[in-house]
Amino acid sequence: MSETQLRTRAHAGVEYALQSEKLSLESSSQTVDGEDHGVAVEAKFITPLDPVIETADGNRLPSVPVPEAHKINLLKHKAEGRSYRPTPVRPRGLSRFNLGEDAKPTQAEQEVQADAAQEEEKQADRESTDTHLDEAIPPSHTHPLFPPLPLYGPPSFTRQLQCAIFRTTSFFLSNAFLAVIVLGAVFTSIPTLLHRCWLWLTFRNPDSQRPFYDEELKRAEIRKQQDAQWLTRQRKSGQTQPDKARLPSLSNDTYEPLEGGPDKLICDIRYYARRVGLDAEEFKVQTEDGFIITLWHVYNPTEYTPATESVRKPTSPEVFTGEGDGLHGHVQQQYHDGNRRYPVLLIHGLLQSAGAYCTNDDGSLAFFLCKSGYDVWLGNNRCGFNPEHSLLQYNDPRMWAWNIRQMGVMDLPALMSRVLEETGFEKLGLVCHSQGTTQTFVALAKEQRPDLGDKISVFCALAPAVYAGPLIGKMYFKFMRVISPGMFRVFFGIHSFIPFMLTMHRILPGKLYGAMGYLVFSFLFNWTDTRWDRGLRDRLFQFSPVYVSAESMRWWLGRECFAKHKCVLATQEEGHQEEIEDESEEEQQEDCMAQRSDRAKTAWYDEHVPPMALWVAGSDDLVDGRRLLRRFERGREPHVNVVHSKVIEEYEHLDVIWALDAVEQVGKEVRDVLWKTMPEEAKKICRTISGVDNSDPDADPGSPKSEAQEEKSP
């Protein structure tokens, strides 16, 4: 080895050490001698735009800007005397997975590239210490909807000062913003309150016109009787938890409640599962960037024994390492062929948690699917109610440098991988609501992680959040869009978004918190409880809000991303062009096939995309589900197979999971679609689903549609 090469490697080694320290958990002055805890080694690319940092102790640190990731890899390889071939950057607007014929290099270009590669290898031996390493790093290339996240290095005086400043300013400004929202919610509710008082004073019932008023009264009386019977048994037996065999049941099924009495209004999925005769266990899952997230498993306690705590702990950050073998799955071991339960994973919406699927007693989607015969899993996104990471602490800004991309590209695969590992299946059914659909639509795109589609038998999207509704133009949302990214961080910080909301969640009584939660969220998102069971309304808000990052809210509401483009995967210009094409197609149907062929070139999804089923809330001001249906109907996504679609005109955004008739309107159809799209191999070993019509198991699940299902926008 020549002296020049030695100098080059030595110089690269020094630069590598500096870059490693820049991306490590702590600086070298804070690292304990002899320990490699959190020391950055290299970058691992989950997707070409999602690098995470691997540390010497086998842990992971969250995503960093692409140039910084390439730089540490380049320096590492140079210090070791190896060449580095980073992923080439594709032209803007073209998918990295499907470039099309026009983007393929010609024969002459290929020969030039081959000669250049040979010359580069020769040049590597002649490099001097004056080589500019940064020049070899591909330039940062991101979709305009996903701008790069900020890079926060290891703790230092400067960074700690920066965090302290943002934490102080955001404490006052974000809480002032929250106070304005609360006051606005209170003041706008005064006319409604006065109207109700007037009706009572004139001997009229203000609730008599509610669509499910009689059903609400009936359910309230049943709950009252059940609570009284539970308390009576408890006093007579002298037991804290009465024997379930001795407790009378007023339900029509054979599931005996394991909890009872007046509702405690607590944030506990297991408590509400036990009230309907089911139970739940909590698994911990590690994402590929080191976050520890929560996965709930709902089960029938008469046929399943929960796993031990050691089994439910987080495993390796690697995903899909042993899918399909079921060798380590505690769930898999308890069911035998012919009686297995097909796994279904449910993902929640923005500012919510998985408990949103568990608040309506037997009318809860999670409990309904479990009692129908499915193996139900409830996934929570990162941070939730208890922010946790394998290396980072709550006060570290790197803990909060994430948005919808990371939830889709990191959280969703981690949850899916753990479910498939535990159950031993090759595929699962995926049911998502609101933001859960957003992160899935992002993850499945051919520029993200399209291979996830091969592990999903059907994607059921409830109130799909892809296109923005008119609500995005409200004054308080416009304020967030007007301020610059820097001012957004001054107002809302670089950590969690308005954490005072979680403080109020912990200290306020459940009934008061539920009432305030309804007023605030109704004011913000134009929701009403018209179709909900008002007797359970306070319970509905015990599972929200959760911790989310300020960067995530900036993605939704800031000036650069969703609020600007009003779409998840299309820019403002592309959306405008789409509207023009839709209008011209309505006026002129000729050349329709040619137009659709041209549109397919800009498709989001490729052949990996799973079948989709959509339930659209027709009175939803938050998102525009009809426009998504139009995109699919008009050939813009040739690979998407919509096996079921339904527009429920009277439904608002949350009615798809909380309405009194949600089981009839949505739940039963979700149950049927999951069964009809289940792989044939799985059907042979799974139990028959209760309530499903099996007269024609080979029938297309999308073919028989009711009149309501055909109510789509023109």
Would you please indicate which residues are annotated as catalytic (active-site) residues?
434, 620, 653
* DSSP code string of 288-332: TTSBEEEEEEEE-TTT--PPPTTTTS---S--SSSTTT-SS-HHH
Collapsing DSSP states into helix, strand and coil, what is residue 547?
A: strand
Tokens of 705: 């549609």
Closest residue by Cα to residue 70 from 55, 56, 82, 84:
84
Closest residue by Cα to residue 671 from 303, 368, 433, 406:
368
Task: Say how many C-beta atoms besides its own lie within 10 A of residue 691's C-beta.
Answer: 14
Task: Say how many C-beta atoms besides its own lie within 10 A of residue 704's C-beta.
Answer: 13
21: β partners: none
Closest residue by Cα to residue 86 from 22, 94, 78:
78
Closest residue by Cα to residue 546 from 663, 368, 388, 397:
388
H or E, element range at 430:
strand 428-433
Rg (CA), the chain: 27
Closest residue by Cα to residue 329 from 428, 411, 407, 449:
428
293: β partners: 285
Report the b/e string of 564-582 with b at 16+ CB within 10 A: bbbbbbbbeeebeebeebe
Cα–Cα distance list, 248 to 65, 219, 271, 321 (Å): 60, 17, 19, 47
- Provide the CA 460 distance to its chain's centre, in angstroms: 14
Closest residue by Cα to residue 450 from 628, 291, 613, 637:
637
Q: Which residues contact 155 (CB under 8 A, 6 or more apart)?
A: 26, 27, 30, 396
Tokens of 254: 């054979």
Residue type, 293: I
Cα–Cα distance list, 611 to 52, 179, 641 (Å): 31, 44, 5
Residue type, 83: S
d(CA 658, CA 463): 12
Phi, psi of 60 (to 5 degrees): -130, 150
Looking at residue 211, what DSSP letter applies?
T
Report the b/e string of 656-685 with b at 16+ CB within 10 A: bbbbbbbbebbbebbbbbbbbbbeeebbee
CB 378 within 8 A of CB 269: yes
Tokens of 328: 């380590």
H or E, element range at 583:
helix 572-587
